[in-house]
Amino acid sequence: MTSIADQPGVPATTAAGISRRGALLGAAVGTLALAGRSAHAQGAGQKPAEIKVGIATYLSGPASVFGVPGRQAAEMLFDEINAEGGIAGVKVRPIFVDEGPGVDHFMGEYRRLVQNEDVAIIFSAISSADCLACAPLADEMKRPTLLWDCGTQRVFEDGRYQYAFRTQANATPEVLSALLYLLKVKPDFRSIAVVNQDYAWGRDSWEIFRTGLNALKPGVRVAAELFPRFGATDFSTEITRLLALRPEVILSTSWGGDLDALIRQAAERKLFERSTFLMPLAESSLERVGKALPAGHLIGARGDHWFLHPSPRDPAQLARFTENYRKRFNNWPIYPCHHMFQAVSAMKTAYAKAIAAKNGGWPNDSELAAAFRGLEFPSLTSSVTIREDGQGLENQIMGTTHHSDRYPFAVMTDMMVFPAAQVTAPVGQKSTEWLKTLKPELLTQLPATAPFR
C-alpha cells in the first residue's frame, strides 16, 4: 500500500493518506512487537555475554539528592568491575530507571527490566513504597532483587520472599541507634520535640523513636510533635514554637532540601543554642549546609557510613573509594553511595558463592537468589550479613558534630558504632513489639566512643 501511495503522480487522496498512516502505524506496532519479544537467556543457567543489572533510583524529584549520588556510585563501581574483567569474566552493565513518577510507573518499569531487558538482577529501590510493591513482584517474576536503600521495616516483617533481599538495615536500627546515642551522651534530658516530614518515613520513624523512648526512659515530656509538609521550604512557624517551648532535645529525621532549610533557618534564629538537635540523616546534608550546622549536635548516617569511620575494615579501600568518587563527581560520597557499594558487593559475593556451589557452572535465577540467603559480604566500612528472613544486618554509626579546619563542613566526633545485632529486631518479630521489650540495661552494653582524628 505504501508503494502505491508513494509513487509519483498518484494523487495523495484521503484514502491513500489513511493507508499511509495505517502503514506507518503497522510499522510502529511491528517494531514495538519485535522489540519486546526477546528470549529469556539468563534464567537458563548459561554464561551470558554480559550481566545486565536494573537499578531503580530517583533521577527526578526531591529524593534525587539520594538517587543521583547512588547512580554515580553505581557508574563508578560498574566501571571498576569491568576494568578488572567483570564478574567471573562477564562484563556488567547497569540499566537505570527513574523512581520519580511513582509506584504504578515503577511496576511497569520493573516488568520491562525483567521481560524486555532481561536483567539478571535488580537493585530496587529508594522509595519504601516501591520496595513494598516490588518484593512480591520479585517472587512472582522469579528475579533476584536487592532492596538497596529503602527504609521501611515492614517488607520482611510482614512478608516472606524467596527472591527479595535487603543489603542494608531498616528504619528500626537506624532510629534506635540514634535514640541509644542520645541516651548515652545526654542521659538527663527531660523534654523532647519532633520536627519530621509529613509522610510515611516521618511518621514511622517517630513511632519507632517514641516506642523505644517509652521503654528505655519513660516519663520524658514530648513538648511538640510537628509534621511540616513534605517539601516545605519555610520552617519559621515551627522554629518560633520550638524557641518558645524550649525542649532540651529536638529530633528530626528529615532529609534533603527540607533538612537543609530547617538547619539554615534554625541556625539563623539561634535554635541550636537552646536545644540539642538529633538528626539521624544529617550526614547526607553536611556538605550542603556547611558550617551553618554548629558543633555539638547529634547526627547519623543510616548505617555505618562515614568517610572518616574510626575503624574501617579496610582503611585503604575506604580512602580510595572516597578519593575516586570525589575526583570524578566533585562531591563527598554520602550514605546512598555506601548503600550502592553494598548492593554491588553483595552481587559480586553472591555470584562467587553461587558459581562455587555449582563447581564453576553459571547459576540460574533461583540458584543466584539462594546464594543471597545467609550471605556475608564486605561493605566499605565493615561487613553486612543477610539474615534468613532476607533482612540485612548493618552496623550503625552515630556521632556529634565537630568543626575542624580541615573540612568546610561539620564532621563527626565521639563516634559510636553500634553492632547490627544489638539494634535490629530479631527474625520473626515486629519492630514495634520488640522495641517495647527493651530494658534500660541495654544502655550499659553500648560500645565505646571514638574521637575525631
Q: In the structure grid, which three cell numbers stand for residue 97, read together? A: 530507571
Q: Which residue, 68 or 446, is less far from other proteins as judged by CB?
A: 68
**Dist CA 317 CA 443 (whole Å):** 33
**Dist CA 182 CA 179 (whole Å):** 5
Are the beta carbons of 81 and 344 closer than 8 angstroms?
yes
Work out whether 65 is an interface residue with other proteins (CB under 8 A): no
Give, as ranges, the residues between 143 and 182 that touch other proteins (CB under 8 A).
Answer: 152, 154
CB of 260 to other proteins, least distance (A): 21
Work out whether 43 is an interface residue with other proteins (CB under 8 A): no
Q: 34, 39, 49, 244: which one contacts other proteins (CB under 8 A)?
A: 34
Q: What are the Cα distances from residue 165, in Å, to 65, 142, 143, 308, 386?
A: 24, 13, 11, 28, 7
Q: 65, 109, 282, 367: which one contacts other proteins (CB under 8 A)?
A: 109
Work out whether 133 is an interface residue with other proteins (CB under 8 A): yes
Percentages (nearest 5) of helix, strand, coil residues in the chain:
45, 15, 35
Are the beta carbons of 135 and 147 closer than 8 angstroms?
yes
CB of 112 to other proteins, least distance (A): 5
CB of 386 to other proteins, least distance (A): 22
Q: 47, 91, 105, 313: which one contacts other proteins (CB under 8 A)?
A: 105
**Dist CA 128 CA 329 (whole Å):** 27
Q: Which residue, 96 or 332, is less far from other proteins as judged by CB?
A: 96
**Dist CA 388 CA 378 (whole Å):** 18
Work out whether 37 is an interface residue with other proteins (CB under 8 A): yes
Torsion of CA 63, 68, 69, 72, to 10 degrees: 160
**Dist CA 450 CA 448 (whole Å):** 7
Q: 60, 233, 240, 429: which one contacts other proteins (CB under 8 A)?
A: 60
Q: 7, 8, 11, 35: which one contacts other proteins (CB under 8 A)?
A: 35
Are the beta carbons of 409 and 163 closer than 8 angstroms?
no
CB of 231 to other proteins, least distance (A): 12
Q: Which residue, 107 or 292, is less far from other proteins as judged by CB?
A: 107
Q: 2, 43, 47, 59: which one contacts other proteins (CB under 8 A)?
A: 59
| Residue 33 burial class via C-beta count within 10 angstroms: exposed 0-12, middle 13-18, buried 19 and up | exposed
**Dist CA 385 CA 37 (whole Å):** 38
Work out whether 211 is an interface residue with other proteins (CB under 8 A): no
Report how many residues bind other proteins under the rule CB under 8 A. 43
Q: Which residue, 5 or 318, is less far from other proteins as judged by CB?
A: 5
CB of 16 to other proteins, least distance (A): 11
**Dist CA 99 CA 348 (whole Å):** 24
Work out whether 108 is an interface residue with other proteins (CB under 8 A): yes
Q: Which residue, 12 or 357, is less far from other proteins as judged by CB?
A: 12
Work out whether 200 is an interface residue with other proteins (CB under 8 A): yes
Work out the number of other CB atoms within 10 angstroms of the CB of residue 135: 26
Q: 88, 107, 292, 446: which one contacts other proteins (CB under 8 A)?
A: 107
Q: 98, 225, 248, 389: which one contacts other proteins (CB under 8 A)?
A: 98
Are the beta carbons of 70 and 336 closer than 8 angstroms?
yes
| Residue 301 burial class via C-beta count within 10 angstroms: exposed 0-12, middle 13-18, buried 19 and up | buried
Work out whether 196 is an interface residue with other proteins (CB under 8 A): no
**Dist CA 349 CA 386 (whole Å):** 12
Residue 102, Ramachandran bin (φ over 0: left; ψ between -120 and 50: alpha; else beta): left
Q: Which residue, 35 or 316, is less far from other proteins as judged by CB?
A: 35
Q: How many residues does the chain have?
A: 453
Among all chains, which residue has been given the C-alpha cell 513494598? 132
Q: 10, 17, 27, 237: which one contacts other proteins (CB under 8 A)?
A: 17
Q: Which residue, 108 or 451, is less far from other proteins as judged by CB?
A: 108
Give, as ranges, the residues between 219 and 278 that touch other proteins (CB under 8 A).
Answer: 230
CB of 84 to other proteins, least distance (A): 26
Work out whether 444 is an interface residue with other proteins (CB under 8 A): no
Q: 19, 115, 366, 449: which one contacts other proteins (CB under 8 A)?
A: 115
Coil/strand/helix, residue 221: strand
Eight-class DSSP state of 219: T
Strand partners, 279: 299
CB of 139 to other proteins, least distance (A): 10
Q: Give the binding range for other proteins (CB under 8 A) out of 10-18, 176-184, 372-380, 394-402.
A: 10-18
Q: Which residues bind other proteins (CB under 8 A)?
A: 14, 17-18, 21, 29, 32-37, 59-60, 96-98, 101-105, 107-109, 111-112, 114-116, 128-129, 132-133, 136, 140, 152, 154, 198-200, 203-204, 230
